[in-house]
């Protein structure tokens, strides 16, 4: 298995001075856009810019219309032959009308035409529904936005945004345009639809120096279609509509030319051959009949021609298109039951002939649900955690695979801190499935606690939060203060290398011992082992607050975050679906090569690819990279199937 080198990232819309927005300071960016962040644009200036740049919408040039989908059903050569047969049968009926035994209606024409129409309607409804579903994948813009204009905060339609508008972003907002952050209060943004990264990105306003920074590394930028999962921020719009990163993807979708599937090519060949055969049969029968009569008269010539045409029409398999369409429609329905959208009916047959399957990672091979997989208690007690996704079902196991006691005091202490130093909620969604309200990483911690029999909501009621020192990109940690049996206690969560430097002791089973340099190095070695397996690690510590600090309502970080007790580590990842692993095995059994194409980082991609069993992977891939890889496989003579569910997959799926 190898990592395939990626191409350069998509070029963002540049500033008027030709520089990338993420390489400019806040002052430089606002100056280039001629806007005062404290006042925002004036209504008049916003209107002028809107007329200049156009509405903040993704145009859908070349989108196929319903009447075009219907018309396409009649363009197959075999269908054209059947339509010709309908006309010929009707003409024969008209010629023979009035003769003895003549049918009152052209039943042959009616039957053939009915078959053609039913076939067309069946194909139309299947493909129209698929087009509507795919269009929904492309529409990721927010309907309304909060901006500052004329010095006041107001809500406006997202389509009215223009470069220079100052966005006000809060948790739960969908970002309506590409923008440069100018102020951030611990904002996390979920960008998996664009980048493939399962974990929300913590954003900041500092200047980036790498002009080739991938989309996911541009920490001071936010992009249309992504969503705020935590915190607040202000950002100045730098690009709208088709000039956004989402617009680049829309342009790429529109540039993709559809190719005929093997089934379509084969049916076209059969249709052409049938057309030639029909004409040949009519000519041969006519000529043979005339030769047998020995004389050539107009009556004999007409009779023989009509007989030859009737024989040729009778030989046409008028039920073939309907049978093919019905079988394909059944395949589409079976795919739909498995939540797969098939845009075009013939693609179902192509799936059966595929020699290469390319798949996105996040949400396709995986659930896009962070899951705690490994736990370190103290120094050297490593546990694995079963289960996947947000379902609170699973158990803690020792390295030997034996169940670990869920009531173990050290495990309970670790999970208690992880549940309380946490702003997420584990909830039931509209489909009565478990979901996370908040940051997915924090949500994974709650699910792990539930697997140990801890109810996070009950725990929060019993130990309400009395104070906190919030997370920041500079601190890389967060502290919350609670009461345990009327004794104030602080829980710390953050980057392992940061948290461990604040600790002087470590919990080991039921006792607390001094944290020596040797123990510290052993802990960091386990952290490196977890990270080497592409696990996202978080460290946890605690401290009983001294009596002299107990009455405070505000806490200073230097006073609170010291002399901590190291509790342990948790490592999490967005793991492959169990059914995805089975599907990869079935593909291998059928001789199909599997390739995972993701925008995620190489280490995570390698770990998921190895666990899922795919043959190869492409990491940090842009939408252009995905499309380019598929075309390369097709050029090498392979039939390629592509699966995905994100906006960045749309060009490859088109």
What is the tens place of the pLDDT at every residue in 141-182? 457 899 999 999 999 999 999 999 999 999 888 899 999 999
Q: Choose, from 248, 360, 645, 649, the residue flagged as catalytic.
A: 360
Residues 6+ away with beta carbon under 8 Å from 438: 171, 229, 230, 423, 424, 425
| Residue 149 CA: distances (Å) to CA of 131, 155, 282 | 38, 10, 77
- Residue 5 has a pLDDT of 36
Mean pLDDT of 51-66: 79
- Sequence length of the chain is 654
The listed range with the strongest mean pLDDT (55-69, 252-266, 529-543) is 529-543
User: Please, are residues 169 and 59 in contact by the beta-carbon 8 Å criterion?
Assistant: no
Strands (E), 59-111: none
652: pLDDT strictly greater than 90: no
Looking at residue 422, its pLDDT comes to 93
The architecture CATH gives domain 371-573: 3-Layer(aba) Sandwich (3.40)
CB 388 within 8 Å of CB 578:
yes
The answer to whether 420 touches 480, Cβ cutoff 8 Å, is yes
pLDDT-derived band at 14, boundaries 50, 70, 90:
low
Q: Which of 5-9, 37-41, 56-60, 199-203 has the highest mean pLDDT?
A: 37-41
SS3 of 100-163: the string is CCCCCCCHHHHHHHHHHHHHHHHHHHHHHHHHHHHHHHHCCCCCEEEEEECCEEEEEEHHHCCC
Whether 402 contacts 384, CB under 8 Å: no
User: Quick check: 139 pLDDT over 70?
Assistant: no
Percent of the chain with pLDDT over 90: 36
Torsion-angle region of 168 (φ positive above 0: left; ψ -120 to 50: alpha; else: beta): beta
Q: Which CATH class is domain 354-365+577-653?
A: alpha beta
Quote the pLDDT of residue 397: 95
For the cut 60, the answer to whether the pLDDT of residue 8 exceeds it is no
Question: Where in the chain are the domains?
Answer: 21-58+140-255, 66-137+259-326, 354-365+577-653, 371-573
pLDDT at 498: 94
A 10 A CB-CB count for 443 gives 26
**pLDDT digits 0-9 by tens, 181-205:** 999 878 889 887 787 777 788 898 9
**Local confidence band at 375 (pLDDT 50, 70, 90 cut-offs):** very high
What are the tens digits of pLDDT across the range 393-411?
Answer: 999 999 998 999 999 999 9
Confidence band for 9, pLDDT divided at 50, 70 and 90? very low
Query: Is the separation of the CB atoms in 204 and 219 below 8 Å?
Result: yes
Coil, strand or helix at 295: coil
Are 377 and 414 contacting, i.e. CB atoms less than 8 angstroms apart? yes
Judge whether 354-365+577-653 and 371-573 match in fold. Answer: no
10: nearest Cα among 329, 357, 245: 245
* Pairwise pLDDT comparison (30 vs 97), residue with the higher score: 30
Using the predicted structure, report yes or no on whether residue 138 has a pLDDT greater than 70: no
Model pLDDT for residues 442-467, shown as the tens digit of each residue: 999 999 999 999 999 999 999 999 88
Helix (H) or strand (E) holding 640: strand 640-643
Residue 371 has pLDDT above 90, yes or no: yes
CA-based torsion, 394, 400, 404, 410: positive or negative: negative
At residue 394, the pLDDT reads: 93
Concatenated DSSP letters for 152-205? Answer: EEEEEEGGG--TT-EEEEETTPBP-SEEEEEEEEEEEEE-HHHH--SSPEEP--
pLDDT of residue 13: 54
CATH T-level fold of 21-58+140-255: 2.70.150
Categorize the per-residue pLDDT at 268 as very low, low, confident or very high, splitting at 50, 70 and 90. confident
Say whether 582 is catalytic: no
Rounded-to-integer distance, Cα 423 and Cα 407, Å: 24
The per-residue pLDDT of the chain, averaged, comes to 82
Q: Using pLDDT thresholds of 50, 70 and 90, give the confidence band for residue 378.
A: very high
Q: Which pLDDT belongs to residue 7?
A: 36
CA atoms within 13 A on the CB side of 633: 22
Choice between 486 and 372, residue whose per-residue pLDDT is larger? 372
* Gyration radius of the chain over CA positions: 33
């Amino acid at each position: 298995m190898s990592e395939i080198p990626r191409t350069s990232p998509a070029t963002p819309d540049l500033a008027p001075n030709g520089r990338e927005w993420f390489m400019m300071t806040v002052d430089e960016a606002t100056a280039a856009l001629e806007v005062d962040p404290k006042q925002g644009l004036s209504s008049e200036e916003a209107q002028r810019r809107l007329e200049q740049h156009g509405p903040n919408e993704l145009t859908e040039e070349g989108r196929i219309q319903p009447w075009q989908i219907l018309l396409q059903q009649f363009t197959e050569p075999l269908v054209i032959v059947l339509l010709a047969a309908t006309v010929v049968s009707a003409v024969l009926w008209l010629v023979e009308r009035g003769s003895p035994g003549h049918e009152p209606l052209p039943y042959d024409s009616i039957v053939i035409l009915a078959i053609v129409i039913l076939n067309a309607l069946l194909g139309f409804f299947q493909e129209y529904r698929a087009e509507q579903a795919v269009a929904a994948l492309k529409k990721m813009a927010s309907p309304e936005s909060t901006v500052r204009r004329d010095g006041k905060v107001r809500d406006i339609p997202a389509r009215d945004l223009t470069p220079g508008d100052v966005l006000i972003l809060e948790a739960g907002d969908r970002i309506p345009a590409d923008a440069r952050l100018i102020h951030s209060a611990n904002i996390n943004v979920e960008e998996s639809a664009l980048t493939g990264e399962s974990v929300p990105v913590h954003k900041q306003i500092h200047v980036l120096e790498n002009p080739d920074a991938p989309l996911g590394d541009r920490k001071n930028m936010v992009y249309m279609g992504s969503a705020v999962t935590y915190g607040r921020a202000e950002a100045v719009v730098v690009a709208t509509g088709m000039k956004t990163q989402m617009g680049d993807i829309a342009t790429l979708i529109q540039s993709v030319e559809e190719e005929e599937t093997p089934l379509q090519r084969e049916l076209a060949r059969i249709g052409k051959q049938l057309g030639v055969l029909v004409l040949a049969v009519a000519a041969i029968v006519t000529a043979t009949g005339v030769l047998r009569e020995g004389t050539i008269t107009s009556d004999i010539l007409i009779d023989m021609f009509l007989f030859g045409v009737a024989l040729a029409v009778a030989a046409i398999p008028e039920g073939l298109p309907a049978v093919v369409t019905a079988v394909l429609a059944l395949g589409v329905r079976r795919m739909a039951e498995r939540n797969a959208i098939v845009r075009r009916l013939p693609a179902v047959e192509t799936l059966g002939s595929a020699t290469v399957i390319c798949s996105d990672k996040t949400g396709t091979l995986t659930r896009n649900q962070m899951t705690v997989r490994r736990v370190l208690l103290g120094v050297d007690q490593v546990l694995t955690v079963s289960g996947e996704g947000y379902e609170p079902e699973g158990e803690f196991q020792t390295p030997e695979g034996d169940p670990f006691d869920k009531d173990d005091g050290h495990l309970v202490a670790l999970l208690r801190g992880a549940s309380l130093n946490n702003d997420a909620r584990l909830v039931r969604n509209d489909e009565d499935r478990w979901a996370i309200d908040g940051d997915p990483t924090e949500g994974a911690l709650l699910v792990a606690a539930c697997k140990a029999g801890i109810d996070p909501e009950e725990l929060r009621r019993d130990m309400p939060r009395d104070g906190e020192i919030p997370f920041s990109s500079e601190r890389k940690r967060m502290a919350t203060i609670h009461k345990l049996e009327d004794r104030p206690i602080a829980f710390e969560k953050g980057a392992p290398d940061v948290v461990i430097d604040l600790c002087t002791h470590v919990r080991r089973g039921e006792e607390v011992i001094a944290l020596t340099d040797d123990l510290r190095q052993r802990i960091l070695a386990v952290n490196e082992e977890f990270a080497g397996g592409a696990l996202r690690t978080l460290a946890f510590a605690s401290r009983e607050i001294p009596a002299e600090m107990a009455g405070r309502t505000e806490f200073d970080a230097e006073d609170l975050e010291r002399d901590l007790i190291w509790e342990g580590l948790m490592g999490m990842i967005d793991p492959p679906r169990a059914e995805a692993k089975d599907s990869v095995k079935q593909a291998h059994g059928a001789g199909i090569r599997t390739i995972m194409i993701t925008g995620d980082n190489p280490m995570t991609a390698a770990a998921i690819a190895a666990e899922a069993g795919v043959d190869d992977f492409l990491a940090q891939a842009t939408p252009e990279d995905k499309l380019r890889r598929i075309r390369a496989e097709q050029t090498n003579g392979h039939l390629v199937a592509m699966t995905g569910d994100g906006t960045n997959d749309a060009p490859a799926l088109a």
